[in-house]
Amino acid sequence: MGPYFFRKIFLTIFLISLISLSLFSCSSEAPKEGIEVTDAWVRKMPPGVTNTAAFMTIKNHTGSPVTLTGVSMDKAGHVMMHETKVVNDMAKMEHLGKVVIDKEVSFEPGAKHVMIMGLDMSDGADRYNIRLHFENKPSLDVTAQVRDANQ
């Protein structure tokens, strides 16, 4: 075993530690800040139907509650926040004036949703811009993919 052998070992150990260091830094996610929106989508409707709904998950990383005061879309006539509730076995939609997001709020089918009225989807667009409005905070633009409801 000459000096080359030890140099090789030293180099190997050095390389392994470099690789594991870079792997570690890749797998550890950077801390998220502000408001994060994931999985935003708009329900695709049959031709001629211009009312639909959008869904998404809004995560609040700010450390204090954030209030969503409304939603808008340039291409739609009217956009509201709704919540579907079952009252006496009847599904009923309730209008939400605001939604307080403590850590996370999901808009999903059968629950809270973004009600969209008067959206012409006949151009076959595969995504839409949705703007979220917050209390004492700049609004946030979200890209929502058009999706079949049963996908």
Residue ranges that bind Cu ion, judged by CB under 5 A = 82, 93, 115
Strand-pair category, 127-134 with 137-147: antiparallel
Minimum separation from the CB atom of position 68 to Cu ion (A): 16
Residue 96 CA to residue 80 CA, distance in Å, equals 8
If the CB atoms of residues 75 and 137 are measured against Cu ion, the closer one turns out to be 75
Report the nearest approach of Cu ion to the CB of residue 51 (Å).
9
Looking at the Cβ atoms of 60 and 79, the one nearer to Cu ion is 79
> Cα dihedral sign for 60, 65, 66, 68?
positive
Tokens in use for 78? 């009217």
Q: At its nearest, how many Å lie between Cu ion and the CB of residue 84?
A: 7
Of residues 57 and 84, the one with the C-beta less far from Cu ion? 84
Nearer to Cu ion, 66 or 71 (CB): 71
129: Cβ contacts below 8 Å, ≥ 6 apart: 73, 74, 75, 141, 142, 143, 144
Could you tell me the smallest distance in angstroms from the CB atom of residue 43 to Cu ion? 11
